[in-house]
């Protein structure tokens, strides 16, 4: 339970700082440099803030070349490193950086690397930015001056004020270290102040007093003031940035661009909306059913909704979905049965058969059992998560082969990544846009067995209790009037 003493009124927290400054997205788009942002996304939900950009789940030079040939201001590479061990995450980041730089050199393009992390601060930090910095200097000879850390995600209620990162709860701000996310079995932390968080995660390599803060007063003073503050950054110095609005992120991008013009080089460790702000892309309105099914080949079967995340909001969303669609077929992957090989197949086979048959008549929900199974160490907990995710992938792949669904929704970061890569075998896709304002991404696969099937990537930790139901209703074109009538009976 989050106690009241850890809650602060938004107005009180913002009182010491200047009023917001409006920045036209066109100001960013009109002055884009030649460089392309390559976004290493540690789970696929980072695409939820953007539209009409390439996304890769494979990182061979040919794949990266394809993305660059689309002439985008940015493209995403799904690393899924949040589900990997430190050693595997290090190797994957290094390979992607090396292949990206080599592909860009052949095409005469310049890259700026973005390590897209979690807006609730979970993930392999500082490992991932450290690896990228070393790879860049090894391949190009260019040393990184600063690592810009900006986890804010205003659309989802995550803001940073005075270097302290918060989750917004109505009119209150809750320091993020007092939330369930800080108690993550693998990536837990104690500090809400990002300066202390950096010191904690770097194990004192960077002390809190050595972390450079860019607070709202500096950001809202404009690009030149930001660049002046960044002049002192050297040797991959961590820089933590405030942000409460999208305009704050645009100001940050403009300031970094000015500092880069002066000769500075940066890496970015950011939440989902920074890339949208930095490329001057307007927030895309939620996709409508005609936009989702604009291409040929829409089938009349039901859609498949996969739920793997165990955070509290996901559990509430799942219960709301079941209540709103009480007749929908539901299958439960029992975590206890799929962790052990001797019980796995006997449990999964009838579940797959029933789900494939039910898709002929309507939507199907498949979710993991809700008890969270963890182990004594973070590595052991990750190993359990990988076994459960492998079972989810197996189920989805077998259902897809038997009865291709009309759409697929995957709820949870690791779940949506593994389903995309291993079950749907998506290698290259285009991000079409969000399903809800600023959150929940729809991909259009351009290859593999899921080509032509809309794929919705839904983070575990975003949205209200009704958000999953709203997305499914849009995909199934349910009438809002009828929905309201059913819910109030």
Contact 426, 447 (CB under 8 A): yes
In a shared domain, residues 445 and 357: yes
C-alpha 266/C-alpha 159 separation (Å) is: 22
Residue 324 belongs to some domain of the structure: yes
Q: What is the pLDDT of residue 37?
A: 97
Q: What is the pLDDT of residue 155?
A: 85
Contact 34, 73 (CB under 8 A): no
Residue 166 falls in which region: left (phi positive, over 0), alpha (psi -120 to 50) or beta: beta
Residue 285 belongs to some domain of the structure: no
Phi, psi of 37 (to 5 degrees): -75, 125
Q: What is the pLDDT of residue 484?
A: 32
Asked which of 278, 310, 344 is the last residue of a domain, the reply is: 278
In a shared domain, residues 20 and 100: yes
Residue 283 belongs to some domain of the structure: no
Output the six-digit token pair for 15: 């009182």
Which residues are 367's β-sheet partners? 307, 332
- Kindly state the DSSP code that residue 279 receives in the 8-state scheme: T
Residue 456 belongs to some domain of the structure: yes
Residue 87 belongs to some domain of the structure: yes
Residue 284 belongs to some domain of the structure: no
Q: Write out pLDDT tens, residues 331-355.
A: 999 988 988 788 999 999 999 999 9
Phi, psi of 170 (to 5 degrees): 65, -120
DSSP letters along 77-113, please?
Answer: EE--GGGS-HHHHHHHHHHHHHHHHHHHHHHT--EEE
User: What CATH number does residue 36 fall under?
Assistant: 3.40.50.10840
In a shared domain, residues 318 and 431: yes
- Cβ contacts of 35 within 8 Å, gap of 6 or more: 109, 110, 111, 112
In a shared domain, residues 229 and 332: no
Q: What is the pLDDT of residue 298?
A: 63
Which residues are 270's β-sheet partners? 116, 150
Residue 197 belongs to some domain of the structure: yes
Give how far the C-alpha of residue 202 lies from the chain's centroid of Cα atoms, to the nearest Å.
Answer: 23
Output the six-digit token pair for 180: 């369930």
C-alpha 416/C-alpha 83 separation (Å) is: 12
Helix (H, G, I), strand (E, B) or coil at 212: strand
DSSP letters along 135-165, please?
Answer: HHHHHH-PPP-EEEEE--BGGGTEEEETTEE
In a shared domain, residues 150 and 229: yes
In a shared domain, residues 213 and 68: yes
Query: Smallest Cα–Cα separation from 429: which of 72, 177, 12?
Result: 72
In a shared domain, residues 208 and 313: no
In a shared domain, residues 364 and 229: no
In a shared domain, residues 321 and 226: no
In a shared domain, residues 350 and 454: yes
Dihedral sign from CA coordinates of 147, 148, 152, 155: negative
Q: Where in the sequence is the domain holding 452, given as residue range(s)?
A: 291-487
Give me the residues of the chain with pLDDT under 70, please.
1-9, 170-171, 295-298, 372-376, 378, 382, 477-489
Cβ burial of 485 (10 Å; 0-12, 13-18, 19+) is exposed
Asked which of 278, 306, 321 is the last residue of a domain, the reply is: 278
Q: How many domains does the chain have?
A: 2
User: What CATH number does residue 346 fall under?
Assistant: 3.40.980.20
In a shared domain, residues 262 and 316: no
CB count within 10 Å of CB 71 equals: 9
Query: Smallest Cα–Cα separation from 455: which of 466, 446, 467?
Result: 446
In a shared domain, residues 257 and 326: no
Phi, psi of 106 (to 5 degrees): -65, -35
Residue 14 belongs to some domain of the structure: yes
Q: What is the pLDDT of residue 9?
A: 61
- Cβ contacts of 19 within 8 Å, gap of 6 or more: 220
Q: Write out pLDDT tens, residues 392-403.
A: 999 999 999 999
Say what the pTM is.
0.86
Asked which of 278, 305, 323 is the last residue of a domain, the reply is: 278
Phi, psi of 146 (to 5 degrees): -145, 150
């Amino acid at each position: 339970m989050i106690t009241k003493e850890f809650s602060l009124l938004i107005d009180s927290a913002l009182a010491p700082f200047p009023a917001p400054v409006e920045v036209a997205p066109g100001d960013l788009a009109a002055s884009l440099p030649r460089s392309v942002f390559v976004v290493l996304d540690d789970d696929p939900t980072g695409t939820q803030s953007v539209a009409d950009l390439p996304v890769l789940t494979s990182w061979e030079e040919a794949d990266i070349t394809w993305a660059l040939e689309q002439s985008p201001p940015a493209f995403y590479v799904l690393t899924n490193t949040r589900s990997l061990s430190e050693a595997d995450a290090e190797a994957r980041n290094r390979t992607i950086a090396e292949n990206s730089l080599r592909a860009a050199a052949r095409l005469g393009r310049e890259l700026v690397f973005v390590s897209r992390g979690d807006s609730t601060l979970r993930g392999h930090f500082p490992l991932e930015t450290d690896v990228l910095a070393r790879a860049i200097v090894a391949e190009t000879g260019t040393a990184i001056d600063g690592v810009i850390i900006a986890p804010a995600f205003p659309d989802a209620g995550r803001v940073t004020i005075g270097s302290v990162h918060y989750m917004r709860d109505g009119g209150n701000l809750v320091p993020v270290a007092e939330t369930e996310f800080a108690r993550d079995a693998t990536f837990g932390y104690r500090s809400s102040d990002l300066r202390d968080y950096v010191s904690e995660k770097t194990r004192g390599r960077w002390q809190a007093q050595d972390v450079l803060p860019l607070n709202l007063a500096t950001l809202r003073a404009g690009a030149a003031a930001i660049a002046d503050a960044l002049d002192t950054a050297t040797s991959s110095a961590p820089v933590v940035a405030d942000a409460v609005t999208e305009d704050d992120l645009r100001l940050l991008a403009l300031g970094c661009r000015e500092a880069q013009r002066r000769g500075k080089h940066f890496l970015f460790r950011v939440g989902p909306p920074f890339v949208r702000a930095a490329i001057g892309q307007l927030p895309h309105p939620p996709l409508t059913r005609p936009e989702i099914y604009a291409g040929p080949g829409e089938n009349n079967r039901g859609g498949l909704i996969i739920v793997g995340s165990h955070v509290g909001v996901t559990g509430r969303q799942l219960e709301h979905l079941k209540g709103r669609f009480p007749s929908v077929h539901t299958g439960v992957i029992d975590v206890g049965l799929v962790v052990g090989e001797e019980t796995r197949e006997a449990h999964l086979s009838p579940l797959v058969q029933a789900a494939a048959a039910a898709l002929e008549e309507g939507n199907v929900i498949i979710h993991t059992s809700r008890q969270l199974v963890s182990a004594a160490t973070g590595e052991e907990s990750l190993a359990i998560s990988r076994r459960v995710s492998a079972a989810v992938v197996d189920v989805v792949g077998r259902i897809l082969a038997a009865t291709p669904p009309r759409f697929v929704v995957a709820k949870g970061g690791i779940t949506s990544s593994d389903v995309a890569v291993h079950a749907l075998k998506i290698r290259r896709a285009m991000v079409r846009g969000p399903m809800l304002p600023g959150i929940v991404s729809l991909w259009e696969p351009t290859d593999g067995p899921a080509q032509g099937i809309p794929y919705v990537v839904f983070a575990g930790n975003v949205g209200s209790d009704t958000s999953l139901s709203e997305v499914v209703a849009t995909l199934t074109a349910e009438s809002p009037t009828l929905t309201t009538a059913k819910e109030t009976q």
